[in-house]
């Protein structure tokens, strides 16, 4: 089945009837932002977010008492999300099945927020083509001492390297410390090829420029370098979805960014949940039109 921007784009005026309780509860103490503020942010950006997140298995970071209290990462259904949050049984390594969560509309997004969700992380595949990933993410994780300028430069380098092998890519500020380079792909190959390609790509970069890049998780080897985290690209892994809020100080969000604009960005948390109007306006700009969409097979498929 062909996946095109047209088939994935939901109606732009997605709305929700989900009732949000405790709207005045402070979820981001530093930013003084409440559950109501978070829900309003998600209601506003839901159409943008759903274009990338709808019908992918998701994991949630839930912080029912706010980001400064206990948060937990939830992969499986706990039965309490209501009818707008859907389930998909997925085969586990041990041969059994577990129900994973997915949403497909603003009601689903808001039902998760009502349950204390701050972050939405998604698989590289969609529920109807679970074994056929359609997005590859290179998550650039800078070592503590590195300047954001180094991360930006690396993202641009990776864009160039991908372009050299015929792949269009897009940049996203993670809302945390790094940049994600996102490569939309036709769902024609399987998980083994997906992980293998991203691993070899990351390793080739670290071999070519060992002073700048590492492709292994080991913290000790990361000193002063950027870890190219290709491990988002395996079955069962997730990455933060575009427009998701982050459970961090100041309530930043994962924000798509145009390649030409990247030079002017000061930090990966440049946009926050207070910027819904600006994000909507940006999404309609020439820089971000078509962001995250391209029809291209993984090389060799």
Residues at the site binding ligand ATP, with contacts judged by CB under 6 A? 73, 121, 139, 141, 174, 176-178, 229, 238-240, 268
Q: Taking contact as CB under 5 A, which single stretch among the options 173-181, 186-194, 244-252, 273-281 is the one that binds Mn ion?
A: 173-181
Strands, DSSP E only, in 38-168? 58-62, 72-74, 86-91, 97-102, 117-122, 135-142
240 touches, from ligand ATP, Mn ion, none (C-beta below 5 to 8 Å by class): ligand ATP
Least distance (Å) between residue 273 CB and ligand ATP: 16
Which residues are CB-contacts of 170 (< 8 A; sequence separation ≥ 6)? 181, 182, 183, 184, 256, 259, 291, 292
73 touches, from Mn ion, ligand ATP, none (C-beta below 5 to 8 Å by class): ligand ATP
Q: Rounded to 10 degrees, what is the CA torsion of 176, 177, 181, 187?
A: -40
Least distance (Å) between residue 142 CB and ligand ATP: 8
38 closest CA partner among 113, 109, 106, 103: 113
Pair 281, 48: CB distance under 8 Å: no
Which residues are CB-contacts of 274 (< 8 A; sequence separation ≥ 6)? 31, 33, 37, 41, 251
Q: What is the CB neighbour count within 10 angstroms for residue 92?
A: 10
- Cβ closest to ligand ATP, residue 16 vs residue 174: 174
139 binds Mn ion (CB under 5 A): yes
Residue of 37, 105, 134, 229 interacting with Mn ion (CB under 5 A): 229
- Cβ closest to ligand ATP, residue 105 vs residue 141: 141
Q: Taking contact as CB under 5 A, which single stretch among the options 79-87, 130-138, 172-180, 287-295 is the one that binds Mn ion?
A: 172-180
**Which residue's entry shows tokens 């309490």?**
80
- Cβ closest to Mn ion, residue 62 vs residue 246: 246
Q: Which two tokens stand for residue 146?
A: 């590195």
Least distance (Å) between residue 72 CB and ligand ATP: 8
Least distance (Å) between residue 230 CB and Mn ion: 9
121 touches, from Mn ion, ligand ATP, none (C-beta below 5 to 8 Å by class): ligand ATP
Which residues are bridge partners to 252 per DSSP?
272
- Cβ closest to Mn ion, residue 36 vs residue 236: 236
Q: Residue 253 in 3-state DSSP?
A: strand
- Cβ closest to ligand ATP, residue 34 vs residue 242: 242
* Residue whose C-beta lies closest to ligand ATP: 176
The Cα–Cα gap between 104 and 295 comes to 22
Least distance (Å) between residue 61 CB and ligand ATP: 7
- Cβ closest to Mn ion, residue 107 vs residue 139: 139
64 closest CA partner among 120, 30, 25: 25
Q: What is the CB neighbour count within 10 angstroms for residue 22?
A: 13
238 touches, from ligand ATP, Mn ion, none (C-beta below 5 to 8 Å by class): ligand ATP
Interface residue list for Mn ion (CB under 5 A) = 139, 141, 178, 229
């Amino acid at each position: 089945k062909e996946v095109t921007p047209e088939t994935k784009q939901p109606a732009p005026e997605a709305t929700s009837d989900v009732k949000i309780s405790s709207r005045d509860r402070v979820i981001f103490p530093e930013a003084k932002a409440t559950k109501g503020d978070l829900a309003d942010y998600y209601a506003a950006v839901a159409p943008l977010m759903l274009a990338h997140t709808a019908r992918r298995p998701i994991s949630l970071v839930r912080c029912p008492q706010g980001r400064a209290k206990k948060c937990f990462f939830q992969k499986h259904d706990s039965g309490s999300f209501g009818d707008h949050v859907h389930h998909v049984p997925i085969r586990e390594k041990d041969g059994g099945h577990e129900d994973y969560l997915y949403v497909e509309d603003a009601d689903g997004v808001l039902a998760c927020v009502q349950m204390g969700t701050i972050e939405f992380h998604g698989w590289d595949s969609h529920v109807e083509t679970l074994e056929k990933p359609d997005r590859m993410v290179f998550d650039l994780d800078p070592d503590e001492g590195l300047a954001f300028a180094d991360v930006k430069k690396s993202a641009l380098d990776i864009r160039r390297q991908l372009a050299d092998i015929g792949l269009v890519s897009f940049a996203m500020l993670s809302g945390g410390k790094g940049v994600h380079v996102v490569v939309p792909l036709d769902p024609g190959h399987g998980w083994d090829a997906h992980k293998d390609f991203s691993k070899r790509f990351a390793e080739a970069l670290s071999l070519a420029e060992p002073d700048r890049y590492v492709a292994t998780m080991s913290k000790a080897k990361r000193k002063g370098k950027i870890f190219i985290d290709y491990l988002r690209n395996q079955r069962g892994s997730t990455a933060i979805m575009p427009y998701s809020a982050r459970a961090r100080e100041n309530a930043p969000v994962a924000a798509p960014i145009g390649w030409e604009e990247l030079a002017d960005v000061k930090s990966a948390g440049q946009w926050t949940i207070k910027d819904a109007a600006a994000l909507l306006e940006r999404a309609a700009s020439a820089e971000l039109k078509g962001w995250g969409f391209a029809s291209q097979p993984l090389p060799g498929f």
